Homo-oligomer: A and B are copies of this chain.
């Protein structure tokens, strides 16, 4: 009897397969950032861009798409706007990452390093991530709260406090 079956007893349902997936945190995160341009905008913010024109220049995506994604990221609390003004020009917004946005870094870095490992050009990665100050390469690691380094195959997924089954039809 696996951990999913232990969680609820004897309903005739298969607890893993008939669970209500509508509150899955992966799916909810993908609702916010699960679109290519959104992740690429965050990549550029992370690489140092903040102005509309910068995103447009590097990404080459349509202006209305870019404007929509930036607005959504601000509404979701991942980016915030500040005002800047260049001499002789009108004030414009610039986009800065919030602490909530910073917390997406492990996920985005996981995507980056997977690509570096399995889909890079023969020369290697186009961009390296390093620890400012010490200069060593930065990576994402899976660890448990007891401080153990955890191999992927030693991760167990179990029902949490908001686990529930699909409503009977």
Contact = CB atoms under 8 A, between A and B. Distances in A.
Chain A, interface SS category: mixed
B139 A140 contact: no
A168 interface: no
Contacts of A133: 154
Contact of A130 (B20, B29, B115, B158): B158
B131 A19 contact: no
Contacts of A16: 47-49, 58
Q: How many copies, total? A: 2
A106 interface: yes
A107 interface: yes
A107 B110 CA distance: 4
A25 interface: yes
A127 interface: yes
A134 B144 CA distance: 9
Given A29-B112, A136-B148, 13 more contacts: A17-B54, A17-B57, A24-B40, A27-B36, A29-B114, A33-B111, A106-B106, A124-B161, A125-B160, A128-B160, A139-B143, A140-B141, A141-B143
